[in-house]
Amino acid sequence: MITFDAVTKRYADGTVAVDNLSLEAPTGEITVFVGPSGCGKTTSLRMINRMIDATEGRILLDGDPVRDIDPPKLRRGIGYVIQQAGLFPHKKIVDNVATVPLLLGWDRGKARSRAMELLERVGLDPAMGERYPFQLSGGQQQRVGVARALAADPPVLLMDEPFSAVDPIVRTSLQDELLRLQAELNKTIVFVTHDIDEAIKLGDRVAVLRVGGRLAQLADPKTLLSEPADDFVREFLGHDRGIRRLQFVGTDGLRLRTDLTVPAGFSGGSPEPWVLAVSDDGRPLGWLRGDGGGGEPEPYGTFRPGRDSMRSALDAALLSPSGCAVAVGADGKVVGVATREVLDAALAEAADG
């Protein structure tokens, strides 16, 4: 557990970056610091591994004040991932990942073996270990940065906006990879971001900081969205806070229709305004007009019932001219259709809850 006990960081010119911050980041969970520029989230993170020292108060690591731990020793026991990875350009990827184990005195063979294992764990081909950073994409470099931070198996991982410099598709992939790794490794992670959607997706607990480094609210994502502490938090969460809440509403109870699918060669004759064309092996092809008046199959959106959220189901419906969401299994085959009426009823029930 990481504990902030009335922590303040005041610079020589009088600027207060963090002001009387008290909170706990529980063991084995992801705690996200989020807030606008100037709210002290990165300063707070860097005080944990003493890249910056607190002016007042204490930061405790499993009950021990970090101020009493020699900084190099402290940092060797804490993984650290930054924006744009920060890899050594003159070292091969495998040697980048092996850096901390080698500093800890591991023999070279063991350190490189651990590095290769971690490259695979973060979703990279181990053959990339023989390349140099400039030969990898931005997303691949960020994966290497995560692997390097995990190399010595530290119990604590600090992540300072690690995914902000990559495109949205790669960013989503990296977020998913982090959640997958966390499910396996159960690290104590403190994650800094300015993106509330990223905070809500990744955090077990989210600390919203206001400008000046004061804590506005600390809560799990569902509580944060449903019960913002004040107008500042409400404004920071945005006007689409209600839509964000839907990612915590499940789809396992949705009633699915199985009578809206037709084979690929359908030419009309259904009483339904829209029907879903399905391939011979059960995969969706697109929406067709029930009277056969359309041409090529039109776009559709899918979700996986019981696994994806109501937000995903609603997004799938909005992508479809029919207003319906196509439910698919893990194999991508159609298991049914959630109609707009069913989705509306589920949304109303969620709002009442």
Rank 135-149, 207-221, 339-353 by mean pLDDT and report only the highest: 207-221
Q: Per-residue pLDDT averaged across 254-270, rounded?
A: 89
pLDDT tier for residue 164 given thresholds of 50, 70 and 90:
confident
pLDDT > 80? residue 351: no
Count CB atoms within 10 A of the CB of residue 68: 10
* pLDDT tens digits for range 249-258: 889 989 999 9
pLDDT tier for residue 153 given thresholds of 50, 70 and 90:
confident
Quote the crossing angle between the two packed helices 168-185 and 138-150, to the nearest 10°. Answer: 20
At 313 the pLDDT is 94
d(CA 168, CA 174): 10
Q: How do the domains of the chain map onto residue ranges?
A: 2-248, 261-352
Q: Per-residue pLDDT averaged across 194-208, rounded?
A: 93
- Sequence-separated (6 or more) residues with CB below 8 Å from residue 238: 196, 244
pLDDT > 90? residue 269: no
At 201 the pLDDT is 92
pLDDT > 80? residue 73: yes
d(CA 87, CA 148): 9
Two tokens at 11?
A: 């610079």
Residues in the chain, how many? 353
pLDDT > 90? residue 350: no
* pLDDT tens digits for range 219-245: 999 899 888 999 999 999 887 777 888
At 86 the pLDDT is 79
At 353 the pLDDT is 55
Alpha carbon 230 to its chain's center:
25
Q: How far is CA 122 from CA 177, 178, 198, 259, in A?
A: 7, 8, 19, 42
Count CB atoms within 10 A of the CB of residue 202: 24
* From 185-189, 226-230, 347-351, the region with the lowest mean pLDDT: 347-351
At 315 the pLDDT is 92
At 120 the pLDDT is 87
* pLDDT tens digits for range 103-133: 888 888 899 898 998 898 888 888 899 999 9
Residue with the bigger pLDDT between 282 and 238: it is 282
pLDDT > 60? residue 176: yes
Report the CATH architecture of 261-352: Roll (3.10)
Count CB atoms within 10 A of the CB of residue 143: 25
What does the radius of gyration of the chain's CA atoms come to, in whole angstroms?
24
Are 145 and 128 contacting, i.e. CB atoms less than 8 angstroms apart?
no
d(CA 119, CA 250): 33
pLDDT > 80? residue 305: yes
Partners of residue 193 on adjacent β-strands? 34
At 83 the pLDDT is 78
* pLDDT tens digits for range 8-21: 999 999 899 999 99
* From 3-7, 85-89, 250-254, the region with the lowest mean pLDDT: 85-89
CATH number of 2-248: 3.40.50.300
* Average pLDDT taken over every residue of the chain: 90
Overall pTM > 0.85 = no
At 352 the pLDDT is 62
d(CA 173, CA 53): 34
Q: Which amino acid is at 144?
A: V
